[in-house]
Chains A and B, each alone.
Chain A
């Protein structure tokens, strides 16, 4: 059964206005995040996956700003009014609806009261490098309870207790002692756990994880991914996972969005993206990764020729055109490929599939 929609992004455009010109970091992106599901956004550096995530929370760095589009947040019901209560699972709302209200996050003032109430409470985020995203001069306990006290009416003692509970839940040994430690005293994996504890402190409906395991080792990565899966079962939040690692996507995702140069190349459920990729970019990306147990028998990896174009010199028409093996002169460099639907939640931006 389809679970209800949580976030609907429609034609999102986030541009950066620099002296050298305008960088169209996100240029017309559409996708949907469902409740309790994991959506992976995958792409190479500069494809706009992080900026898309930051646009949802309205934390795009200057001089970037959302110039067009909608980010519709279908806010689910909370079971308790306290603000950090459980979310209802689906259709048990009072009026038969699963959501209380629909908020367009893109239209909110980035510094306004409404978006600040949503950040950290409804939607929270963990970042790639936990050392630079945690404050080095505040204790771990301080940083976690700050979020709790901001969004709930818990007292100091209660907040501390809650923080200990969270740290224990994310697998930090002796959590009571850890409240007083500073981030530099923790290992990379532990810091990432603290970040996760902080992000979960108000029981968000959506957790955005921006390359959460890129800076950690492979065994730690396995721990963190496992933890995120467990926590999703337990807390029921949706996860938007941003990564460049197709292995992580295959392990975690329900749905996948493949991005290239600020646009969606293809989206769909994880199985069809990996076993029936339509877009030439997705196809060649899958062929270019060395894979355990397979790549040994093959002489060479298939690589994509050329490189990601310079953001100031975007190609005309299809962004992937200059590197594509199926390039059709006169069509691909003239027409920006529209979204061609292939099924529920499945679409591809490629002129090859226009007739279907």
Chain B
């Protein structure tokens, strides 16, 4: 099962403080993904968009890790690099094999990657574009089983039926085409497809963003239930902080291709250490009109920095309200401020930042 990669780097046996070794399912080290900017007739490369620029994090077995940030922060790109939907520009993605060995997925060829593709699956954002309109549900959900020679014929049909039943769809509908289903039902089909091969890690990229409020709650509950049932590990990519808070155990906050903060969910929301996280939390509208007066909303100036031409020093400094001279000169490292709580800010210890306090019950 273990792939023979000639140029894959060895997984360091003693972690550099980022991970406790055994139950780390995925360890991302210095991941980089740059997209070339081309110009002219010969498509000469004139620059790079640093979509993901040197990020490191790990995912523990059975946990849900949130990747959160605004559009263009690289959260989706990071998720796709882990699945090797993109080739890496630099860095390593270590994934724990069935026999406990850490394998670097980065340099694997498509053939070598095959066994891992069963274990790493994805749920997409848009339930309308991510399902082939010309394929009936049985093919959409069943093709991964057929291609990987897991099941065929009657057995395949049974497995698809039980998968559909598990995600809350009626198995009788398996001959129907995607257009016959509503948005929430399509997302359930997408989830069934992702689960068909008993994956170990599922990357959910904005899996509930396109859904209506009442349906979103159903799908979030389903995602949580399935995790318990199949012992799944999720990387949950989202821009919606309230969804992240609800579903994630730990959160990675990204800004312009870099990680600015990593912490356990409760800690991050209660006591952020990076000014960007504070601003992000404060920008979320609170669905309680009585909180309107009490809240001191931080409104950031300007727009998200251009990842092709990022500012000097800390990328966030032009918009930061605590900015000092050092910020535009030195790039801050991601440092451990409190146990398990990392932030990339020069003044993380000195600043007193506001988190989110719970408001009263509604309704």
A128 vs B362: C-alpha distance in the bound complex, in angstroms? 28
B100 in the interface, Cβ–Cβ < 8 Å?
A: no
Of B221, B243, B286, B300, which one neighbours A247 at CB under 8 angstroms?
B286
A187 vs B357: C-alpha distance in the bound complex, in angstroms? 32
Contact B221 A274 (CB under 8 A): no
Collect the chain B residues with CB atoms within 8 Å of residue A187's CB: 303-304
Closest chain B residue, CB of each to CB of A44: B212
Collect the chain A residues with CB atoms within 8 Å of residue B241's CB: 218, 292
Contact B246 A226 (CB under 8 A): no
Closest chain B residue, CB of each to CB of A282: B363
Of B279, B292, B358, which one neighbours A251 at CB under 8 angstroms?
B292
Contact A250 B288 (CB under 8 A): yes
Collect the chain B residues with CB atoms within 8 Å of residue A290's CB: 217, 220, 242-243, 245-246
Known: A289-B217, A289-B287. A307 touches B182 (CB 8 A): yes
Collect the chain B residues with CB atoms within 8 Å of residue A275's CB: 289-290, 362-363
B359 in the interface, Cβ–Cβ < 8 Å?
A: yes
A101 in the interface, Cβ–Cβ < 8 Å?
A: no
B92 in the interface, Cβ–Cβ < 8 Å?
A: no
Contact B265 A284 (CB under 8 A): no
Known: A289-B287, A293-B359. A223 touches B242 (CB 8 A): no
Contact A222 B297 (CB under 8 A): yes
Contact A250 B299 (CB under 8 A): no
Shortest distance from the beta carbon of B220 to any chain A beta carbon, whole Å = 6
Collect the chain B residues with CB atoms within 8 Å of residue A44's CB: 212-214
Shortest distance from the beta carbon of B289 to any chain A beta carbon, whole Å = 4
Collect the chain A residues with CB atoms within 8 Å of residue B239's CB: 217-218
Contact A274 B297 (CB under 8 A): no
Collect the chain B residues with CB atoms within 8 Å of residue A324's CB: none
A219 in the interface, Cβ–Cβ < 8 Å?
A: yes
A246 in the interface, Cβ–Cβ < 8 Å?
A: yes
B338 in the interface, Cβ–Cβ < 8 Å?
A: no
How many chain B residues touch A (CB < 8 A): the figure is 52
Residue from B220, B291, B357 with most neighbouring chain A CB atoms (10 Å): B220
Shortest distance from the beta carbon of B156 to any chain A beta carbon, whole Å = 28
Shortest distance from the beta carbon of A308 to any chain B beta carbon, whole Å = 7
Collect the chain A residues with CB atoms within 8 Å of residue B311's CB: none
Closest chain A residue, CB of each to CB of B285: A247
A301 vs B245: C-alpha distance in the bound complex, in angstroms? 12
Collect the chain B residues with CB atoms within 8 Å of residue A152's CB: none
Closest chain B residue, CB of each to CB of A275: B362
Contact A218 B280 (CB under 8 A): yes
Collect the chain A residues with CB atoms within 8 Å of residue B224's CB: 300
Q: Is the interface of A mostly helix, strand, loop or mixed?
A: helix
A248 in the interface, Cβ–Cβ < 8 Å?
A: yes
Contact A274 B283 (CB under 8 A): no
What string of 1s and 0s marks CB contacts (under 8 Å) between A129-161 and chain B?
Answer: 000000000000000000000000000000000
A123 in the interface, Cβ–Cβ < 8 Å?
A: no
Contact A245 B70 (CB under 8 A): no
Collect the chain A residues with CB atoms within 8 Å of residue B358's CB: 293-294, 297
A199 in the interface, Cβ–Cβ < 8 Å?
A: no
Closest chain A residue, CB of each to CB of B182: A307
Collect the chain B residues with CB atoms within 8 Å of residue A226's CB: 297, 299
Task: List residues 212-226 of chain A with CB under 8 A from any CB of chain B.
Answer: 217-223, 225-226
What string of 1s and 0s marks CB contacts (under 8 Å) between A291-305 and chain B?
Answer: 111111100111111
Contact A296 B285 (CB under 8 A): no
Inter-chain residue pair count (beta carbon < 8 A): 161
Contact B280 A304 (CB under 8 A): no
A104 vs B172: C-alpha distance in the bound complex, in angstroms? 51
Shortest distance from the beta carbon of A172 to any chain B beta carbon, whole Å = 11
Contact A296 B246 (CB under 8 A): yes
What string of 1s and 0s marks CB contacts (under 8 Å) between A267-294 and chain B?
Answer: 0001100110100001111111111111
Shortest distance from the beta carbon of A45 to any chain B beta carbon, whole Å = 6
Task: List residues 88-112 of chain B with CB under 8 A from any CB of chain A.
Answer: none
A296 vs B358: C-alpha distance in the bound complex, in angstroms? 10
Known: A253-B289, A292-B269. A308 touches B212 (CB 8 A): yes
Of B214, B220, B279, B282, which one neighbours A304 at CB under 8 angstroms?
B214
B71 in the interface, Cβ–Cβ < 8 Å?
A: yes
Contact A295 B242 (CB under 8 A): yes
Collect the chain A residues with CB atoms within 8 Å of residue B184's CB: 307
Contact A225 B285 (CB under 8 A): yes
Contact B285 A301 (CB under 8 A): no
Task: List residues 242-262 of chain A with CB under 8 A from any CB of chain B.
Answer: 244-251, 253
Contact B214 A223 (CB under 8 A): no
Of B214, B283, B288, B303, which one neighbours A221 at CB under 8 angstroms?
B283
Contact A45 B265 (CB under 8 A): no
Q: A222-B282, A301-B221 are in contact. List 18 more A-B contacts (CB 8 A).
A: A188-B71, A219-B279, A220-B303, A222-B285, A222-B299, A222-B300, A247-B284, A247-B286, A251-B286, A285-B214, A286-B362, A286-B363, A289-B213, A290-B246, A292-B356, A296-B266, A307-B182, A308-B212
- Give A residues with C-beta under 8 Å from B: 44-45, 187-190, 217-223, 225-226, 244-251, 253, 270-271, 274-275, 277, 282-297, 300-305, 307-308
26 residue pairs from A and B, CB less than 8 Å apart: A44-B212, A190-B303, A218-B70, A221-B283, A222-B299, A247-B286, A250-B285, A250-B291, A250-B292, A274-B290, A275-B289, A275-B362, A288-B216, A288-B217, A290-B217, A290-B243, A291-B288, A292-B242, A292-B269, A293-B357, A293-B358, A294-B359, A300-B224, A303-B214, A303-B215, A304-B217
